[in-house]
């Protein structure tokens, strides 16, 4: 007697941890830069340089890179920048069971603020959250059928599993060239740039997937034109490509996340030898997961009228995909310029970051509350402060429909700012319109009893001889033909034949004649 087994690929969240750290440092203005009169705006980005697991702890090294735009009234070119970084070296406590696993580390820049200590020194403060997760991908071996003597009886059950067909990390490199239009001045120095991913699409194919999207690029630079010492330019760069992904196909479900891990802009000369071109290079980090929904039939029970068969069972714990959707919402609000700030003459650029404050699961829904932190750069009416920025928080609350969600389900909501547009209503007020998407994926925690082996022993002949050869049986609540046949050492077909049954369905109160099949071997 032999069990036929099959490997099932399963995935589950093994452990997770979160660390919030505060970065704080002071920086002197380089000697080649003029004094600070007013800070216009700041930007920051976290770069993780090294991750090491050691004795149940995770050592994470990295740095906060920042760039600060400031105003200097005593210089012919009024706008300047200071760039630098604050390194960090942190220890995150992990469960011992995850000590040697490969973790996924993601960061969120929760707050970044700068202040002027004096005209030659500024302070940079930041709150960073590091989120660490360890997922376990493993094979569970389970029996699917039995090969043996003809009288061996077995029954299968169908289960739904989410098979992990692909699970890897990769990078995608984007290279292109930006040429300034004729109405823009030559580049003297790059002060500030903002590069964002827009309209990203993924299409699964056989053993690969295609991506396409756009890079939204904003440049602020000092120009060689003395009449217009500060210029800006905004453009979009389309990109696309194919990534190899063994095991995937177009019928599967993708869960692929993208993050810009590195961006570089380098000024270069155009065909006329003038500095009017830039080489742009962006590296995307991809966390790639591809799922296939399968419904395998696995062994549920086994017995023999002529042998004592005891199944060896274990509990398999895994995650099943409940739902994956991408909900889009439109949000609109207005931002006013504070009274102590210069009025608006022209808007240059706007960017924003979504911050989720709270997620409240309620039955088959999740309420998501948060804000869009908008930062708008503008040219002002005040000649003494030609460039300024205004910030505003736009609140939102949205309901996501999640059918089939349970109280112990694992979920992940990834917000994305698809579009942000601003319009100047007057010199004091700006209308902000945003489209956000909440990419939601929900998994159920499943515990399934599976048969991994069987123990076979000789039948207890004395026990069988004590049982009557023919039995009149009245069906009770909860009975099945399978359980009755197993109890009285016969088969389902045997009971159906002797009772002239066309179906194995039975109801409480039904009367059956049962003949002991094992009499043939006594």
Q: How far apart are CA 111 and CA 106, in angstroms?
A: 16
Radius of gyration of the chain (CA): 33
Please give the share of the chain, as a percent, with pLDDT higher than 90.
67
pLDDT, mean over the chain? 91
β-sheet bridge partners, residue 222: 189, 230
Q: Give every strand in the sheet of 187-205, ordered side by side.
A: 187-205, 208-223, 230-244
Tokens of 281: 């290079």
pLDDT at 522 over 70: no
Q: Where are the domains of the chain?
A: 1-147, 161-293, 322-445, 467-521
Mean pLDDT across 43-64 = 90
Q: How far apart are CA 84 and CA 8, in angstroms?
A: 50
Query: pLDDT of 255-268, one tens digit each?
Result: 999 999 999 999 99
**Which residue do the tokens 């009975």 mark?**
479
The confidence band for 139, taking pLDDT boundaries of 50, 70 and 90, is: confident
Mean pLDDT across 37-44 = 96
Contact 123, 115 (CB under 8 A): yes
- CATH architecture of the domain with range 467-521: Roll (3.10)
**Which residue do the tokens 């099959």 mark?**
6
Tokens of 44: 């920051």
pLDDT at 101 over 80: no
pLDDT at 520 over 50: no
Please give the share of the chain, as a percent, with pLDDT higher than 70.
99
Query: pLDDT of 58-94, one tens digit each?
Result: 899 999 999 999 999 877 789 999 999 999 999 988 8
Who wins on pLDDT, 226 or 70? Answer: 70
Which parts of 103-235 fold into alpha helices (H)? none
- pTM equals 0.85
Q: How far apart are CA 243 and CA 240, in angstroms?
A: 10
353: number of Cβ within 10 Å: 15
Tokens of 429: 């007020």
The confidence band for 3, taking pLDDT boundaries of 50, 70 and 90, is: confident
pLDDT at 519 over 80: no
Query: pLDDT of 345-390, one tens digit each?
Result: 999 999 999 999 999 998 889 999 999 999 999 999 998 999 999 9
pLDDT at 283 over 80: yes
Q: Quick one: pLDDT at residue 521?
A: 46
3-state secondary structure of 517: helix
> Is 119 exposed, middle or buried, given 0-12, 13-18 or 19+ CB atoms closer than 10 A?
middle
The confidence band for 221, taking pLDDT boundaries of 50, 70 and 90, is: very high
Could you tell me which of 288, 297, 266 has the C-alpha nearest to residue 160? 297
CA angle 211, 212, 213 (to 5 degrees): 135
CA distances, 304 to each of 47, 308, 456, 515 (Å) = 63, 7, 9, 15
3-state secondary structure of 521: helix
Q: Quick one: pLDDT at residue 316?
A: 85
Mean pLDDT across 281-285 = 96
Strand 307-336 relative to strand 429-458, pairing = antiparallel
> Is 497 exposed, middle or buried, given 0-12, 13-18 or 19+ CB atoms closer than 10 A?
exposed
Q: Per residue in 393-416, is it b (16+ CB within 10 Å) or e — as a string?
A: ebebebebebeebeeebebebebb
Length of the chain (residues): 522
Could you tell me which of 29, 47, 202 has the C-alpha nearest to residue 118? 29
pLDDT at 208 over 70: yes
Tokens of 34: 């003029």
Tokens of 86: 């604050």
pLDDT at 186 over 70: yes
User: From the centroid of its chain, how far is CA 278?
Assistant: 33
β-sheet bridge partners, residue 140: 8
Q: How far apart are CA 221 and CA 232, in angstroms?
A: 6
Q: How far apart are CA 265 and CA 311, in angstroms?
A: 65
pLDDT at 468 over 90: no
Residues with Cβ within 8 Å of 273's Cβ and at least 6 positions away in sequence, in order, are none
Query: pLDDT of 414-454, one tens digit each?
Result: 999 999 999 999 999 999 999 999 999 999 988 889 898 89
């Amino acid at each position: 007697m032999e069990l036929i087994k099959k490997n099932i690929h399963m995935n589950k969240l093994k452990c997770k941890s979160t660390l919030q750290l505060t970065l704080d440092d002071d920086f002197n203005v380089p000697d080649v830069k003029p004094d600070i009169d007013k800070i216009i705006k700041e930007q920051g980005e976290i770069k993780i340089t090294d991750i090491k697991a050691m004795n149940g702890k995770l050592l994470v090294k990295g740095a906060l890179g920042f760039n600060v735009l400031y105003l200097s009234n005593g210089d012919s070119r009024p706008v300047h920048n200071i760039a630098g970084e604050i390194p960090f070296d942190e220890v995150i406590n992990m469960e011992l069971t995850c000590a040697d696993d490969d973790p996924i580390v993601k960061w969120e820049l929760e707050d970044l603020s700068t202040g002027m200590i004096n005209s030659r020194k500024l302070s940079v403060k930041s709150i960073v959250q590091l989120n660490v997760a360890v997922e376990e991908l493993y094979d569970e071996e389970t029996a699917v059928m039995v090969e043996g003597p003809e009288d061996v009886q077995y029954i299968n059950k169908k289960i739904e599993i989410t098979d992990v067909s692909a699970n890897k990390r990769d990078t995608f490199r984007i290279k292109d060239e930006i040429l300034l239009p004729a109405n823009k001045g030559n580049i003297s120095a790059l002060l500030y740039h903002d590069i964002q991913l827009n309209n990203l699409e993924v299409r699964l194919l056989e053993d690969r997937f295609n991506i396409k999207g756009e890079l939204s690029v904003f440049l602020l630079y000092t120009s060689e034109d003395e009449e217009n010492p500060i210029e800006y330019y905004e453009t979009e760069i389309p990109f696309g490509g194919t990534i190899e992904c063994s095991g995937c196909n177009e019928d599967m479900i993708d869960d692929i996340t993208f993050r810009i891990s590195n961006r570089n802009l380098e000024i270069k000369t155009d065909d006329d030898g003038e500095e009017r071109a830039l080489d742009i290079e962006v590296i995307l980090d991809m966390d790639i997961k591809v799922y296939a929904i399968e419904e395998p039939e696995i062994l549920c029970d086994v017995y023999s009228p002529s042998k004592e068969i005891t199944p060896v069972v274990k509990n398999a714990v895994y995650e099943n995909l409940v739902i994956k959707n991408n909900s889009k919402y439109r949000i609109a609000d207005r931002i006013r310029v504070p009274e102590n700030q210069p009025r608006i003459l022209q808007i240059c650029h706007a960017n924003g970051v979504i911050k989720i404050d709270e997620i409240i699961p309620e039955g088959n829904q999740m309420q998501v509350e948060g804000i869009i932190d908008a930062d708008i750069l503008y040219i002002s009416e005040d000649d003494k402060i030609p460039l300024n920025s205004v910030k505003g928080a736009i609140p939102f609350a949205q309901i996501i429909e999640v059918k089939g969600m349970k109280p112990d389900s694992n979920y992940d909501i990834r917000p994305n700012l698809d579009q942000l547009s601003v319009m100047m209503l007057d010199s004091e007020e700006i209308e902000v319109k945003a489209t956000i998407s909440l990419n939601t994926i929900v998994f159920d925690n499943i515990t399934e009893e599976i048969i991994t082996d069987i123990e076979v022993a000789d039948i207890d002949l004395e026990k069988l001889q004590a049982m009557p050869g023919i039995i009149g049986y009245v069906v009770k609540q909860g009975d099945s033909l399978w359980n009755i046949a197993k109890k009285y050492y016969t088969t389902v077909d045997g009971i159906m034949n002797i009772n002239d049954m066309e179906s194995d369905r039975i109801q409480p109160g039904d009367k059956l004649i049962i003949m002991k099949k094992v009499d043939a071997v006594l």
